[in-house]
Each structure stands twice: as C-alpha cells, then as structure tokens.
Structure 1
Amino acid sequence: MATGTRTQTGAGTQTGAGTRTGATGRTRGSGTALATGRAGSGSGRLRRGLLAALVAAAVVVPVSAAASPNVPAPAPATFSEDATPRSRYAANSANLAEAVRTAEDADRPGRAARLRAMSAAGAARFLTFDGRGRGRAVEVFGELESADRVAVLVPGSDTTLDTYERFRAGAVSLQQRLQAGHPRSAVVAWLGYDTPGTVSTTVLSADRSDAAAGELAPFLEQLRGMSGPGARISLLCHSYGSVVCARTATGSAVGDIALFGSPGTGAGSARELPTGARVWAGRGSGDWIGNVPHVRFGGIGFGTDPVDPAFGARPFAAGAVGHSDYLKPGTESLDSLAAIVLGTTPASEADRG
C-alpha cells in the first residue's frame, strides 16, 4: 500500500514518500538519511582520529622516548615462594654480574655500564632482575624484613634498564625522606612490567596495564609475607603507572594508593577501582600532563582526571613540580607522598589556598 501521493512531473521527477528529482533518478528522502548517516559516520571517524592525535600529541611531544636495545642476558634466577629477601638479593646480584659480562661480550658497552652502576649502588638488593631486552628489576631500599611502612613505586612509560637511574633516584629520595621520620620503612622500586614507549600507540590505551596488573597483584601478596609483621603497604603510582595501579586488585595488602602525574585511569571514579585502599591524587602545577585531554573514546584515552573532585580521590598538595619531579628532595610533593606512606594526613591544595 502506498503511504503518500505520487506525482509524475517531467522526465524523471517523482514526489511523495520517496522523492526523486531530476533526470538522473537520484532519490532523496530515505536516501537523504543514508547520506546523512554516511556523513555522520565520516565525522565520527574524524572525531576519533582527531582525539587520538590530540592525546598522542599531548603525551608524546614533551617526553622523548628512550632507546632500549634488544640486549642479550642470562635467564633470570628463579625462586620458591618462600625464598627470603636475602636469598633473592644474593642470587640476583650474581645474575646482574653475569648480565654485565654478557653485555660486554655482545659489544653493548652502554648497557654494561648501566648494569655496573646498578650493581654498585644500593648493595644490589634486587628481589627480581631480568637483564634481557628492555629489562625488569625490583629493587629494595631499606630493611624490608623489619619494615612496618613499605612504599611500592610503580613507574610510567619508557622506564627500562636504560633509564633505570632516574627511577632509582626517586626511590632513594623517598627512602631518605621516610627514614628521617620513621627508620622502620622501606621503598620497593617495582619495574616489574614492560612499560610502553612514550612515542607509541600503547601509551594511549590501557592494554599494557592489564598485563602489568596481573604481575603486580601477586607481587603485593608476596611482599606482605616478606615485610615486617603487620606492615602497612602503600602504592605510589606515577604517570602510566597510575593506569597499572588502577587495574590491580590489591586485596588487603595495600592501605593507600597515590596517583600522581596521572593521565587518568580508565575508570570514572575511585569507587570503580578494584581495591579497598584509600585513593589519593595530586598533580604539580608545572606538570604538562594536566594538558592531556581527560576523555575516553573506545580504547583511546583514560577518562576522568583523578584530581577532579568528581573522581572522588583524596587530594594531596604537590606544589609546582613538573612531570618528572614529584620525588625530588625538598619538594612539597615528596612531603605529601611520604605522609601518605607513614599514615599521616598530607597537606591538600585546599589547605594551602
């Protein structure tokens, strides 16, 4: 049954429910919707493309990627679940020394020099060490077995064995700050995952963080058994590391999670995170990551800004630090993070203003 009038006018002109105009016989009406849909689809693709480009530009332009050559090294040492920290330190120290020799034999003097520096500093207290490729390392600062306050640092993009020294410097700074007020404290620098490259598509999505969270969660349970009785564990998560922490089921092992320099977590609020820990967030006024669009479209971007009150995290003051400066000595951000680890209340931006 026809649903509208149809009038034939001229060579190819039809009006009514399906309107045809002109000799070419092109249809408008229902055809217009199709054309509009195609235009909408095109504009949608354009918006997604622009969003990806915008997030990528905001993330990759301020930081240069670090080269991480595929360097050969011995297989990492293996341990039983009840291995003590001391036995792990000894085995990993020997593995690290062997990795230095392997890098030298492979004519990789840069990697060999970095590994020698890692071995010389901090008495090589590694719970985990893997010198292959970009590498992994979990290093302890302080007396873990007697510590009742333990901070676990989770780094962001481009943290590898080739850039490890800057990560270690932050851990040392935090440990010194904690020791000043609480000698029974320890810091664990957890490079336990393959961090994304800053100049890469992986840094724009949470894909890499899911695998990392699967590594971090069981480590935290092990750490509770290696620390002092009743130790309070805090997760301090920088940049892309905050995406990792936001996906880690912490159980009862962790009392506090601090997100700093975060591009977002992929979650809409702190309540969505798989943890019962208190969640904190802070950002320095000099941190470029505040300019990253806090949006999520498909698999691109990380959504709500953790320092936005709508996210529901507890705020802490970070001062005027830049993206890589949160753990530098003498900074307000270092004081705030130390207070979180020690279980005291850090200053907030509201307190200051």
Structure 2
Amino acid sequence: MGATGRAGSGGGRLRRTLLAALVAAAVAVPISAAASPGVPAPAPAAFASDAAPQSRYAANRANIAEAVQSAEDADRPGRAARLRAMAASGSAQFLTFDGRGRGRAVEVLGELESADRVAVLVPGSDTTLDTYERFRAGAVSLQQRLRAEHPRSAVVAWLGYDTPGTVSTTVLTPGRADDAAAELAPFLDRLRGMAGPGARLSLLCHSYGSVVCARTGTGPAVSDMALYGSPGTGAGSARELPTAARVWAGRGSGDWIGDVPHVRLGGVGFGTDPVDPAFGARPFAAGPVGHSDYLKPGTASLDSLAAIVLGTNAPASEATHG
C-alpha cells in the first residue's frame, strides 16, 4: 500500500510537471521580438495632474525628438528610426511617452476631447517601442472602422506597462499584470475626464493584456471589456473580475493560443478559458483570424470589436467560439 501511494504521488508530480512544461512550450511557440535594454533617453515629460491632452501631446512630441537624438548619439539607429516613425506625422498625440529601455507610450487616435466612444487597447507580450508599429497598426485599423460609423470616436493605444517577453517565465505568471493593473485603473479614471461628456469607455484586451484587464478595477467609467486571444485570466468566471462592465470573449479559429492548456499549477498558467461558456463571458464572433490578426481590416473580429465599442453589439451577439 505504501509503495503504491508513493508511486501515485510521484505520478501526480510528473503529471503536474508535464502540464506546466506543456503550458510553457505552447506559449513560447511564436518567435519573440528582440528587446532593447539599456537604451538611453530623456526622462518623461512632467505634467500637472489636470493637464489638458493638447499640452501633453506637444510636450511628448518634443520628448520623442530628444529620445531620437539620444538613440543616435548612443549608436542605436534602429531605435532612432522607430521613434521617428512614431512621430512621423508631426501631429502625433501621445498622452504618455517614456523612451527609456523597452519603453512605454500611450497614444490617442482621434479627437479625445469630443469623443463619446473611446476604446482602450491593452496589448500582450513583446509589445515595446521596438515593436510599437504593429500595435499601432491595429489601433489605426480600429479607429478607421469606428469613424466610418461614428465620427465622435477615439482609440487609445495603451502601452502603459512593461510587457513580458513571449519566451519568458514572466508571461506564464500574473506579476507583470498586477503591476500593469495598478497603472491602468487610475489611467482610466483620468481618461474619463479627458474625453467628451458622458463618454462610453471600452477595454479591448489582447493575449497577456487580458490578464492585465482581468486584474483592473474599472469603476463606472468602463461599460465593456473584451478579451481576445486570451491564455486565461486567472479567474474562474467573469463574475470574479473586479468590474461591473459587460465582459466579452472571442478567439479566432486560426489562433494558436487555443492549443494552450488552460491550467493553473503552482501559480503558473491562467486557468479557465474565457471563451468556455462556463466562464460566463458574452461570446463574440472572431472568424478564422490568427493570434495577431484580430484588428486587421475586413475581419469579423474587427467588426465585432467595433460593435462592442459602439454599443450596437449586433455582430457580437451572433458569435460562435473559434
């Protein structure tokens, strides 16, 4: 009996080890983008807590120009080129910019001060200043889609936290998400005061960004939270999330994250799949998109997310799981 018990215990440990390894292997399938540690840059611009968006935009454009010069002086031409691209239009609207290290940036697309529909995009792993353009492309696509139906809309691309690397141990645990949630919650409160009167805010949370959103107390400012390409949230159900917003979940049939085991073992992994009906989120149609394609023009997922932001919800209500 004792020998059998020890064998069973060993088998259980083996199963747990294998499951944890499987989670790690599945999440680490994509190739991680190279980070840029130690990139010199000026300190972020300082603002009064009630500074208007326009004054923030002007100060951050100047800060980006200084960061370009710092990168050039440090013989970092790649970073310098990417920073130039961020401010190429000459009218870039950044509420926040920090060019140090992997970097942070919060960009507004549209006229925030008159917008009554505002979408806040929260990205996942490996989103840095060096990969910012791909994140921004999704924000631009969503803003164009929203404006086609509702001119008084804005999109906020919120790279307001240090995202984990795709191939890392941090991407399997909630530590970075907890830190990010502590930044995101007060930002949402401030954003409500910057937007148009009575503005409706929606959180659109991709991949590891869904772990961030699931830990963010949203208050009354946020009406909807959409989780897509999610590895799980760490919560067992939508009711456990610290929000009164309607919670949506969708996944494309071509998204590799659907193959990630939805387990949580010893603090590793994020448990229940948000698209599982047992989680209790409202499903939205995502179509055949892959993990990085949810905001691409012409996709069902973009249509659904735009409908959630606008409050029309028609495409989302007819969803099936990917």
Would you say the 8 A contact 1:142–1:186 is kept in 2? yes
Q: Which residue of 1 aligns with 2:270?
A: 302
Q: Structure 1 residues 202-211 or 94-103, which shifts more?
A: 202-211
Q: Distance in 2 between matches of 1:173 and 1:193?
A: 22
Q: Distance in 2 between matches of 1:137 and 1:346?
A: 33
Q: Which residue of 1 aligns with 2:201?
A: 233
Would you say the 8 A contact 2:139–2:155 is kept in 1? yes
Q: Distance in 1 between matches of 2:305 and 2:291?
A: 15
Q: Which residue of 1 aligns with 2:111?
A: 143
Higher RCO, Cα 8 Å, sep 6+: 2
Find the residue that maps to 1:213 and give its secondary structure. helix
Is it true that 1:131 corresponds to 2:131 in the alignment? no
Is it true that 1:198 corresponds to 2:166 in the alignment? yes
Find the residue that maps to 1:104 and give its secondary structure. helix
**Aligned pairs, number:** 320
Note the C-alpha offset of 1:234.
0.1
Note the C-alpha offset of 1:348.
4.4
Q: Distance in 2 between matches of 1:72 and 1:151?
A: 31
Counterparts of 1:126-275 in structure 2, within 5 Å, are 126-275=94-243
Note the C-alpha offset of 1:82.
0.3
4+ runs deviating over 4 angstroms: 35-38, 348-353
Q: Distance in 2 between matches of 1:298 and 1:219?
A: 31
Measured at CA, do residues 244 and 122 of structure 1 come closer, stay the same or move farther in structure 2, by a change above 3 Å? farther
Pick aligned residue for 1:68 from 35, 38, 41: 35
Note the C-alpha offset of 1:43.
2.9
Note the C-alpha offset of 1:127.
0.3
Which amino acid in the other structure matches residue 31 of structure 2? Answer: S
Would you say the 8 A contact 1:335–1:346 is kept in 2? no
Would you say the 8 A contact 1:264–1:294 is kept in 2? yes
Measured at CA, do residues 344 and 303 of structure 1 come closer, stay the same or move farther in structure 2, by a change above 3 Å? same
Which amino acid in the other structure matches residue 65 of structure 2? Answer: A
Q: Which residue of 1 aligns with 2:79?
A: 111
Which amino acid in the other structure matches residue 234 of structure 1? Answer: S
Q: Which residue of 2 aligns with 1:85?
A: 53
Note the C-alpha offset of 1:253.
1.1
TM-score w.r.t. length of structure 2: 0.96
Note the C-alpha offset of 1:45.
3.0
Note the residue ranges of structure 1 that are not aligned, 5 or more in a row: 1-31
Measured at CA, do residues 118 and 148 of structure 1 come closer, stay the same or move farther in structure 2, by a change above 3 Å? same
Q: Distance in 2 between matches of 1:126 and 1:259?
A: 25
What CA RMSD, in Å, does the superposition of the two structures yield over aligned residues?
A: 1.5
1:160-212: per-residue Cα shift (whole Å, max 9, x none)? 00000000000000000000000000000000000000000011111210000
Which amino acid in the other structure matches residue 159 of structure 2? Answer: L
Measured at CA, do residues 123 and 260 of structure 1 come closer, stay the same or move farther in structure 2, by a change above 3 Å? same
Q: Percent identity at matched positions?
A: 82
Note the C-alpha offset of 1:296.
1.2
Would you say the 8 A contact 2:283–2:320 is kept in 1? no
